[in-house]
Amino acid sequence: MNDKRRDFLKLCSLAGLGIAAPRTSRAETKETPPYAGPFYVVFNASGGWDTTYLMDPKGVDGINRLYQEGDILTQGAHKFAPTDKKKDGGMSNEEFYKDFGSELLVFNGLDYSVNNHSPGARYMATGKLDSLACPTFAALVAACKGPACPLSFLTFGNYSNTGNLVAMSRVPYLPSLKKVALADHLEGNERSPYHEDFVLDRIEQTLAEAHDATLQQPRLPRLERAENMLYAAQVNSKALQRVVPFIPKSIPKERMAQQAEIALASFAAGVCVSANLTIGQFDSHANNDRDQMKLIPEFLQGITYFIRRAEELKLRDKLVVIVQSEMGRTPTYNGGNGKDHWSIGSVMFLGPGIKGNRVIGATDAKQFARTVNPQTLALDDKGIRVRPEHVHESLRQFAGIDQHALAKKFPLGVKAPEMLKGFWG
């Protein structure tokens, strides 16, 4: 291959030719078989969680008013803050670590590099601070693994940029799922089709012919992309009827549980690859301990609900869980008993292929990030500051999409010596 040809192909790739807007013919957009996993779920504590009340306990220098260093608890390799007697509802750390500690991988001392919500949320979701185009990990993995799934990337909030790789689905309420599942039937009633089957078949066939004819004509890239996405959305939407058996009869009251049921029904039906679940109000400037002791337990309870329901639906062994926030909270209290933004934090993982009972990285006694040797993952003064791009590079490798053309379209810029070796155990 000569250089010119190589350059041309490289440019094609970078320009998204044949990637972001593939020409989808009829044959390619027939209803796809159910996506069988793995399923990726990102739990987001929106507003900035206080990691010293969860996986990175301190109890010194007035960092925490609710416990002292000696009160810190352990579960295997994990250290965590005691919350059982302080929490306001929800699930305590004690219960959470008892249930999941052996499966849990924690990274402490993550350097968010900024301490504003908007860039922090973007950075944590994508691994790229200085790009508004980069897709979130959840969107990217959906685009790589199941772009034809009708609800491939489901989001309930948080930064959800798709990089134009896959459509974002918002399904705010469980009943909404039912509404769209049987689109060719009056009021979703299976016994009342709008058209007889042979008529519907002919409509679909004519739409397919029109779609193919459209693609034969030279079109502006944007119009071509729109035509492809529209056609795929309509064809793939038929698969939504598979969701119906998985919609629970009663709707849970808790906000995370509602999101969980929608995501799990979509996973179980094989129509979804990834989901962003989120709860907000962690931005505890005004009264840190009160707010965090209400929200962290609620958050953990939501995660646990999700995992338990996944077990019931026999999805647990295909579920990759990422637990994150866009920033941490300062080691000191402000004048209003609150804590302000802190650019150091933590992230947790759990799922098949992730070796649990491990803690990588650390913060020092003043809650500053310790550097890590990327080859050994040990704390090392000559190591690197681990940032979201390092974690995301590892995530892409873990999901097996780091060499995918779509991932390469949005490189994270982590150099080989800085890649975290053996991160997943």
Partner 1 sequence: MNTALPALAIALVLLGSTSQGADTAYTGAACQAPMDTAFVEDVWGKVASQECLKCHKAGGDAEDSDFVLRDPSKVLGEARDEAMRHNRAAFIKMARASEGDQSRLLLKAQGKLKHKGKAVLKPDSAGYRILADFVKRVTAPTKPVEVAEDKNAPPFFDGIVMLDDRRLLRRATLSLAGRLPTDDELKLIQHDGLKAMPAMLDAVLKEDAFYDRLREGFNDIFLTLGIDGNADATVLAYEHFEKSRLWYQKEKFDEIADPKEKQQAKYRIAREYREALLGEPMKLIEHIVRNDRPFTELVTADYIMMTPYTSRGYGMFDQIKDRFKDVKDPFEYIPVRLTALKGRSRQTDQESASGFYPHAGILSTFQWLTRYPTTETNRNRLRARMYYQHFLGVDVLELAARVTDAAAVTAKCKVPTMEASECVVCHKTLDPVASLFQDYWVFADKGVYGRRKGGWFEDMFQAGFEGDDMPAAERWRSLQWLGERTAKDPRFAVAMVEHAYYILTGRKVLLPPKDLDDPIYNAKRRAYAEQRKQTEAIATRFAKNGFNFKAVLKDWVMSDFYRADAVASVAANPARRTELDDLGLAHMLSPEQLDRKIEAVFGEGWRKLHNGDGGLAMLYGGIDSKEVTERATDPSGAMGAIMRTMANDVACKNAARDFERPNDERLLFRNMEPDVVPGSMETDAKIKHTIAHLHERVLGRIDSEDSAEVARTFRLFTGILDEAKQKRREEQENYSCRPDPDHVRVADPHYTIRAWRAVLTYLLRRQEFLYE
Least distance (Å) between residue 77 CB and partner 1: 25
Nearer to partner 1, 93 or 324 (CB): 324
Nearer to partner 1, 181 or 307 (CB): 181
From candidates 36, 223, 365, 378, binder to partner 1 by CB under 8 A: 223
Q: Does residue 230 belong to the site contacting partner 1 (CB under 8 A)?
A: yes
Q: Does residue 421 belong to the site contacting partner 1 (CB under 8 A)?
A: no
Rg (CA), the chain: 23
How far are the Cα atoms of 252, 253, 264, 312, 314 from residue 249, in angstroms, in the given order?
10, 13, 14, 15, 19
Q: Where are the beta strands (DSSP E) in 86-222?
A: 105-111, 153-155, 168-169
How far are the Cα atoms of 47, 161, 230, 360 from residue 357, in angstroms, in the given order?
27, 32, 45, 10
Least distance (Å) between residue 277 CB and partner 1: 14
**Burial label, 381 (beta-carbon count in 10 A; 0-12, 13-18, 19+):** exposed
From candidates 61, 69, 209, 311, binder to partner 1 by CB under 8 A: 209
From candidates 70, 213, 253, 417, binder to partner 1 by CB under 8 A: 213
Q: Segment 254-273, which members bind partner 1 (CB under 8 A)?
A: 271
Q: At what angle do helices 174-181 and 255-268 cross, to 10 degrees?
A: 30
Cis before 38? omega within 30:
yes
Interface mask toward partner 1 for 270-299; x: CB under 8 A:
-x-------------xx-------------
Between CA 82 and CA 93 the distance in angstroms is 6
Q: Segment 112-141, which members bind partner 1 (CB under 8 A)?
A: 112-116, 118-119, 129-132
From candidates 69, 84, 226, 365, binder to partner 1 by CB under 8 A: 226
Q: Does residue 162 belong to the site contacting partner 1 (CB under 8 A)?
A: yes
Q: Does residue 17 belong to the site contacting partner 1 (CB under 8 A)?
A: yes
Contact region with partner 1 (CB under 8 A), list: 57-65, 146-154, 301-309, 314-322: 146-154
Nearer to partner 1, 74 or 118 (CB): 118
How far are the Cα atoms of 46, 87, 293, 336 from residue 290, in angstroms, in the given order?
16, 8, 5, 12
208 Cβ contact partners less than 8 Å away, ≥ 6 residues apart:
26, 29
Least distance (Å) between residue 372 CB and partner 1: 15
Please name which of 367, 343, 370, 372 lies closest in space to residue 81, comparing C-alpha atoms.
Answer: 367
Q: Segment 165-204, which members bind partner 1 (CB under 8 A)?
A: 167-172, 176, 179-181, 183-184, 186, 192, 194-196, 198-199, 202-203
Residue type, 196: E
Q: Segment 60-99, which members bind partner 1 (CB under 8 A)?
A: none
Q: Does residue 233 belong to the site contacting partner 1 (CB under 8 A)?
A: yes
Least distance (Å) between residue 252 CB and partner 1: 19
Contact call for residues 240 and 150 (beta carbons, < 8 A):
yes
From candidates 54, 139, 143, 235, binder to partner 1 by CB under 8 A: 235
Least distance (Å) between residue 112 CB and partner 1: 7
Contact call for residues 389 and 402 (beta carbons, < 8 A):
no
How far are the Cα atoms of 90, 335, 341 from residue 284, in angstroms, in the given order?
18, 12, 9
Q: Does residue 246 belong to the site contacting partner 1 (CB under 8 A)?
A: no
Strand, coil or helix: 80 = strand
Least distance (Å) between residue 311 CB and partner 1: 26
Between CA 170 and CA 402 the distance in angstroms is 26
Q: Segment 336-375, which members bind partner 1 (CB under 8 A)?
A: 336, 338, 340, 342-344, 366-369
Q: Does residue 25 belong to the site contacting partner 1 (CB under 8 A)?
A: no
Nearer to partner 1, 25 or 206 (CB): 206
Nearer to partner 1, 100 or 112 (CB): 112
Least distance (Å) between residue 74 CB and partner 1: 26
Contact call for residues 319 and 41 (beta carbons, < 8 A):
yes
Q: Does residue 395 belong to the site contacting partner 1 (CB under 8 A)?
A: no
Q: Does residue 15 belong to the site contacting partner 1 (CB under 8 A)?
A: yes
